[in-house]
Amino acid sequence: MTTQDSRLTSPAYRQLRQWVLARDRHQCQIRGPNCTHVATQVDHIVARADGGPVFDLANLRAACRTCNMQLAAHRTNHIRYRTSIADMDTRL
């Protein structure tokens, strides 16, 4: 079970999220396969789990739901299916 990061539900983050969507004109900045082009989410370029800053505008971009979910799935699969413990050490 995962818990939601309380910072992501704060008024400050909600305002920042709206600012990023407006800055990027509600256009997906990822443009992956099956992209809908209409951004409704905000993506952390460097994932929070990898130490990416939550509130840094340079680390945020507008994303459509499809692209954001594909990135999350790719990241999850990449971590889950590492070939050795040595691979894990390079992330730390």
Spell out the domain ranges in the chain.
7-91
Q: How far apart are CA 87 and CA 70, in angstroms?
A: 22
3-state secondary structure of 8: helix
pTM for the predicted model, two decimal places:
0.77
The pLDDT score that the predictor gives to residue 72 is 86
The pLDDT score that the predictor gives to residue 80 is 54
Question: Is residue 92 scored above 60 in pLDDT?
Answer: no
What distance, in Å, lies between the first and last C-alpha atoms of the chain? 23
Please indicate whether residue 88 or residue 64 has the higher confidence score (pLDDT).
64
How much of the chain exceeds pLDDT 70, in percent?
80
Torsion of CA 53, 65, 41, 69, to 10 degrees: -20
